[in-house]
A and B are shown apart, each in its own frame.
Chain A
Amino acid sequence: MATDSATDFTLDSAAALAADEHGAIEGRSPWLLAWRRLRRNYVALAALALFIVIVVTCALAGPYAKHVAKTGPNVGHLGETFTRDGQQVQVVSKGGFVNGKFIAGGIPVGPQLWHAGGRYVFGADQQGRDVAVRLLYGGLNSLKIGIGSAIVCMVFALVLALLSGYYGGWVDWVISRVFDLIWAFPVLLLAIALGTALAINGFHHFGINIEGGSLWIPVIVISFVLIPYVARPLRGQILSLREKEFIEAAQAQGASPLRVMFAELLPNVASSFLVFFALMIANNILTESGLSFLGAGVQPPNPSWGTLIDDGSDRLVTAPWLTIIPGIAIVLTVLSLNIFGDGLRDALDPRAKVRIER
């Protein structure tokens, strides 16, 4: 979003664009044109489809646990057995020799795929819990936090950027200094410190009551530390838009500040906003997994993809699937959002240059 809008839009590039669209852009809304460009980008559409599939699969965590795996996300099956191809198998076997090395403690059973009638599709963990069930529930939590924190962060960033860019003066000064301050903090350190402190007893101030294990804590922590990263570029765009004639025209017609902000300025930053939003969800899922990995995000026994990796990390040699599977889930989700966000940016910015002319 580095390039300034409108100013470098010359007649030449407009003509080139029109030619590119086979003359069919006349009288069409920019959104329709963007959709047309996006529709041709099969990679981006496939990425969006993948993301939707992941969301839907995770949303089916409850029915899957109940009807297929027949267990809950936090139900341990230590000392129990199950049937695999007609044989009884221990969920967590006693310690012994694996590849010639002695392993103390239990070794959970590996991925069964469909050999156990839907149970332990992705194996079990040290406590005999079904990894596939925890993966889906964990995915639900990770997605909730990723999407939730992206929404909270974007809304706050947008409002602050609008206020800051529209009013300027001391309002802008105060908001910008607060951003400077959050910016100067080491982001991950601040998030971990806040997350850990809040996870102990929750937050009970100003009439807001949040319990220690609540998912709202990682949502608030992540959105708080990332607000300046979104608000600063948006503020820059609004500052330059504010000097344009259409704002003056709206004000001359007697439009209230709120109207100018939300009906005139907002639609002009909407495309950056959308792109930011997709990339923000991806980034926040990554941040959540990092926080949870360090114990400052989702609190056990509640699963998330980050906590699943954390649980599995000290079993890397004997039970690698505990680490590998949730990691693949994170990568697929984040990658699908990044590819889609990239395609969305290209579609929404008609001046995006795709090739060099020699």
Chain B
Amino acid sequence: MLAFLIRRLIGAFLVLIAVSFITYLIFIKIPGGDPAPRIAGRTATEANIQDIREKLHLNDPFYSQYWAMMKSLFTGSLTSYSSQLNVVEQIKSGIPATFSLCIGAGAIWLFFGILVGLISAVKAGQWSDSVITVFALIGISLPVFWLGLMSRYVFAEDHPFSFLPDGEYVPLTQNPWQWFTHLLMPWLVLAVLFIGFYGRVLRSNILDTINEDYVRTAKAKGLPYRGVLVRHVLRNSLIPIVTLFGLDFAAVIGGSAILTETVFDLKGVGWYAAQAVQDLDLPPIMGVTIYATFFIVLFSVVVDLLYALLDPRIRPT
């Protein structure tokens, strides 16, 4: 187990380095990625641009530029090209909004996903299963940003059925009730897609598990149906959901909630990344990519460990 952990952590570290390096290449080597003319502005002379290049060490060989950027990222002194703000500080200030959004949405989608999957599996083949299936498929087919815009249009302030505030993040410490009402809509919007997806996956897992021998044995020895369903079938069907949830949760924490954050004007990490990408501002993009990859890699290790814990047949090797 310890050897497994050490190997995974070394692998994770290598992945982080590779990912940062590729991100760097994308933005330095692709034409138009050169930040100097953009910082200098439209009316800049060639001398101005050269000046900025010199100041940002853009004329150094690119491996030493990469090294300098990584060093300043980990010492926390990396600043953005366009706004000159500290990248690490900016990411930190976005974390409360992103975490509030993702943890709330994650709880909602996990709960309702399991509920939907369970009900549609138990009712498989009946009309209620078909209705749930249709709703799940609609949920999967909705573009999250459009759903966000529509719910803002219909439910938010100044709109037809207004009863919720329109976007923006209110810190939990400042006003818990405002925090809740401001986040309710983003939570539901972000969760809808996953509820449909998890429901579908769980349904097919349950239908696979329910024909196993041990389920038949449990039923044969006279255990109540409901108990068999929860203690035997659901428990085993949930194992793949654990993996799925770990990876999806890491992805949304790591900035995949970009669209939701942009639509609802939640100034989280994803929103920050979207802004930086629009300005082709390399340092924040590097910062957010490293931050996001850290969570993805971390959660994939956690998921593997959990998997081994939940399913004794699987031993990490």
Residues of A within 8 A of B (CB): 2-3, 101, 180-181, 184-190, 192-194, 196-198, 200-204, 212, 282, 286, 289-290, 293-296, 306, 309, 313, 316-317, 320, 323-324, 327, 330-331, 334-335, 338-339, 342, 353-356, 358
Query: Would you list 25 pairs from A and B whose C-beta atoms are within 8 A, ordered by A residue?
Result: A181-B18, A184-B297, A186-B254, A186-B255, A189-B254, A193-B23, A200-B33, A200-B280, A201-B31, A203-B30, A204-B31, A286-B143, A289-B146, A294-B259, A306-B143, A316-B152, A320-B153, A331-B141, A331-B142, A334-B140, A334-B141, A338-B137, A354-B124, A356-B122, A358-B225
Restricting to B229-278, which residues have a CB under 8 Å from any CB of A?
240, 251, 254-256, 258-259, 262-263, 273-274, 277-278
Partner pick for B125 among A197, A200, A306, A355, CB 8 A cutoff: A355
B145 in the interface (beta carbon within 8 A): yes
A355 touches B143 (CB 8 A): no
B280 touches A196 (CB 8 A): yes
B211 touches A188 (CB 8 A): no
Partner pick for B208 among A2, A295, A296, CB 8 A cutoff: A2
Partner pick for B280 among A197, A313, A323, CB 8 A cutoff: A197
The interface stretch among B55-63, B65-73, B82-90, B285-293 is B285-293
Contacts of A324 in B (CB 8 A): 150, 153
Report the Cα distance A143→B276, complex, angstroms: 29
Contacts of B225 in A (CB 8 A): 358
A331 touches B138 (CB 8 A): yes
Residues of B within 8 A of A (CB): 15, 18-19, 22-23, 26-27, 30-33, 121-122, 124-125, 133, 137-138, 140-146, 149-150, 152-153, 158-159, 204-205, 207-208, 210-211, 225, 240, 251, 254-256, 258-259, 262-263, 273-274, 277-278, 280, 285, 288-289, 292-293, 296-297, 300
B289 touches A330 (CB 8 A): no
B153 touches A181 (CB 8 A): no
Contacts of A335 in B (CB 8 A): 137-138, 141
Contacts of B143 in A (CB 8 A): 286, 289-290, 293, 306, 309, 327, 330-331, 334
Report the Cα distance A190→B286, complex, angstroms: 11
Report the Cα distance A46→B126, complex, angstroms: 20
User: Closest CB of chain B to A263's CB: distance in Å?
Assistant: 31
Given contacts A192-B274, A306-B143, A331-B143, 18 further A-B contacts (CB under 8 A): A101-B158, A180-B15, A181-B19, A189-B288, A189-B289, A192-B273, A192-B277, A197-B280, A201-B31, A290-B259, A294-B262, A309-B146, A313-B149, A316-B152, A327-B143, A330-B143, A330-B146, A342-B133
B258 touches A189 (CB 8 A): yes
Contacts of B22 in A (CB 8 A): 181, 185
B285 touches A193 (CB 8 A): yes
Report the Cα distance A180→B296, complex, angstroms: 11
B150 touches A197 (CB 8 A): no
When A and B form their complex, which 7 residue pairs have the shortest distance between CB atoms, in order from nearest?
A: A200-B32, A355-B125, A201-B32, A327-B146, A186-B292, A334-B141, A335-B141
B153 touches A316 (CB 8 A): yes
User: Closest CB of chain A to B298's CB: distance in Å?
Assistant: 11
Partner pick for B256 among A181, A188, A200, A316, CB 8 A cutoff: A188
Report the Cα distance A3→B225, complex, angstroms: 25
Q: Which of B146, B208, B255, B297 has the most CB of A within 10 A?
A: B146
Report the Cα distance A45→B93, complex, angstroms: 50
Partner pick for A198 among B30, B137, B210, B258, CB 8 A cutoff: B30
The chain B residue with its CB closest to the CB of A333 is B141
Report the Cα distance A313→B122, complex, angstroms: 41
Report the Cα distance A286→B31, complex, angstroms: 28
A185 touches B274 (CB 8 A): no
B150 touches A323 (CB 8 A): yes
User: Closest CB of chain B to A290's CB: distance in Å?
Assistant: 5
Report the Cα distance A261→B23, complex, angstroms: 34
Report the Cα distance A202→B152, complex, angstroms: 36
Contacts of A355 in B (CB 8 A): 124-125
B30 touches A197 (CB 8 A): yes
Contacts of B141 in A (CB 8 A): 282, 286, 331, 334-335, 338
The chain B residue with its CB closest to the CB of A295 is B278
Given A204-B31, A290-B259, A295-B278, also A184-B296 (CB < 8 A): yes
Contacts of B15 in A (CB 8 A): 180-181, 184
Given A2-B208, A203-B30, also A186-B125 (CB < 8 A): no
The chain A residue with its CB closest to the CB of B229 is A356
User: Closest CB of chain B to A168's CB: distance in Å?
Assistant: 18
The chain A residue with its CB closest to the CB of B251 is A186
The chain B residue with its CB closest to the CB of A99 is B158
Report the Cα distance A354→B121, complex, angstroms: 9
Report the Cα distance A355→B296, complex, angstroms: 36
The chain B residue with its CB closest to the CB of A309 is B146
A323 touches B288 (CB 8 A): no
User: Closest CB of chain B to A329's CB: distance in Å?
Assistant: 10
Partner pick for B211 among A212, A334, A342, A353, CB 8 A cutoff: A353
Contacts of B122 in A (CB 8 A): 356
Q: Which of B30, B133, B251 has the most CB of A within 10 A?
A: B30
Contacts of B255 in A (CB 8 A): 186, 188-189
The chain B residue with its CB closest to the CB of A339 is B137
Report the Cα distance A333→B33, complex, angstroms: 35
B159 touches A317 (CB 8 A): yes
Contacts of B296 in A (CB 8 A): 184-186
Report the Cα distance A2→B208, complex, angstroms: 10
Contacts of B145 in A (CB 8 A): 289-290, 293, 309
Report the Cα distance A197→B38, complex, angstroms: 13
Contacts of A282 in B (CB 8 A): 141
Report the Cα distance A185→B294, complex, angstroms: 10
A356 touches B31 (CB 8 A): no
Contacts of B159 in A (CB 8 A): 317
